[in-house]
Amino acid sequence: MLYVEVDELGADTWKLEPVIELLKQGAVGVIPTDTVYAIVCDSKSNSAIERLRRIKNIEPSKPLSILCCSLRDIDTYTTGFPSGDGQGHADIFRAVKHCLPGPYTFILTASKELPKQCVRYGTKTAKYASRKKVGVRMPDDAICQAILEKINAPLISTSVRSPKENEWMVDPVVIADIYGPEGLDFIVDGGVRVADPSTVVDMTGSYPKITRLGKGPKLHWMVAEDDDESAFYVEDLMPSATS
């Protein structure tokens, strides 16, 4: 297993070249993000996606997330963010641009460009599902961004948790001890992180609804699960001039 230590501010990203080559060859490894560490692989490698599921012990019925370098990637692999139509529907895209890159996971409807392994379901009822969703991230992390830029494609991603305690694992040395024997090909050490996951916002409903509050703060255009949705209007969803 390749173990690479990189400056957390990205001053020596040249060290990432062997990691990029491994990813292109179908490797599965661990990289830092702006929240917790993530197990990643190339979105174009079916065998790597299967290995990632096995290493993390993710059920085939559970969709995976993707790490994107740009809004263009998000538009390619999803149907995009809701945009205003002049008929009372807010232009959420304008608001989202204010918090990306950042510690948010946005749940969007997947496009046909996304590999089926990311959105597939383990039961036959999947073919009756009209909408398949995927979590999308654009991390504000120098190392993660450098990897995404160099590979020039989204990465399949799942956050690193302890297999036994189900707690976030933030020390790359410990991650290597636990997951290395499970078949990881590399680990990028960007220092110990804080156990603070991304804030998850479901964008597929009537309102952008927070399903998990994490590192990313609740913004004025987001609805918490315990909020009264009827109290929200189009104006509330628009970014203010000072945001």
Largest Cα–Cα separation, the chain: 55
pLDDT tens for 3-62 read 999 999 989 999 999 999 999 999 999 999 999 999 999 998 989 999 999 999 888 778
The first and second tokens of residue 36, run together, are 């917790």
- Percent of the chain whose pLDDT exceeds 70: 84
pTM: 0.86
Residues 6+ apart with CB under 8 A from 136: 65, 66, 68, 74, 77, 78, 105, 106, 107, 108
- Can you give the pLDDT at residue 125? 47
If you average pLDDT over residues 196-207, what whole number do you get? 91
pLDDT tens for 85-131 read 444 445 678 888 889 999 999 999 999 888 777 765 444 444 444 45
- Can you give the pLDDT at residue 181? 94
Residues 6+ apart with CB under 8 A from 207: 223, 229, 232, 237
Lowest mean pLDDT among 30-34, 119-123, 153-157, 222-226: 119-123
20 C-beta neighbours (distance < 10 Å), count: 17
Angle among Cα 59, 65, 67 to the nearest 5 degrees reads 145
Lowest mean pLDDT among 123-132, 151-160, 169-178, 213-222: 123-132
